[in-house]
Amino acid sequence: MKRPAVVALFMMLIFALLTVNVLADVPSTISITRRSEGGNTIIDVKVRHADPSTSHYISQINLDLDGTVKSFTGLPKATAAEAIYSLNIGPVSPKAVKAQAVCNLHGAGSYYSEAGTNGTGGGVGIPAYLIGALVIGALLGVAVLLILRNRRISGVS
């Protein structure tokens, strides 16, 4: 194999590995329910996060309440892949609630909308930046191949 082709394959491998890193264990919010308790609204957020431990855990949950984000930290560390976090938002009753779980190692998952609100009616546990990382990786790979192709056409090696 010629040297430019090896370089191109090596660079595409690096881009693929960067994309795999994005697919790491980002938490998924799988349901949101609300209830009243003593005049306060409690939001129960069910989160899926594989292999939780004392060094790998949900460090924060962000609630988007009608466009205002409130962050909850100091959460109890889950011991199972699925956990429910009960978050007291006080005496307010927002029309729309979205939740986002944040892993201390892998970052934030996507926002998930409470069913029946003005949000999207649900979400998936794929990081919001996954598509962007895939597109950037593909564009960089194509750019490298085009540069190598143009070098070969012009006779530069």
User: What ranges do the domains of the chain cover?
Assistant: 1-23+128-157, 24-126
CA 96 – CA 64 distance, rounded (Å)? 8
37-88 per-position pLDDT tens digit: 999 999 999 999 988 888 889 999 999 999 999 999 999 999 899 999 999 9
Collapse the DSSP code of 129 into the 3-class scheme (helix H, G, I; strand E, B; otherwise coil) and give the result.
coil
Q: Which fold does the domain 24-126 belong to in CATH?
A: Immunoglobulin-like (2.60.40)
Q: What is the mean pLDDT of residues 128-132?
A: 55
A 10 A CB-CB count for 38 gives 7
Under the banding of pLDDT at 50, 70 and 90, the label for residue 124 is very low
Residue 1 pLDDT exceeds 60: no
- How far is CA 25 from each of CA 15, 48, 62, 103, 106, rounded to the nearest angstrom? 19, 10, 18, 8, 6
* Percent of the chain scoring above 90 in pLDDT: 41
Q: Read out DSSP for 35-84? A: EEETTEEEEEEEEE-SS--SSS-EEEEEEEETTEEEEEESPPPPSSSEEE
pTM for the complete prediction?
Answer: 0.62
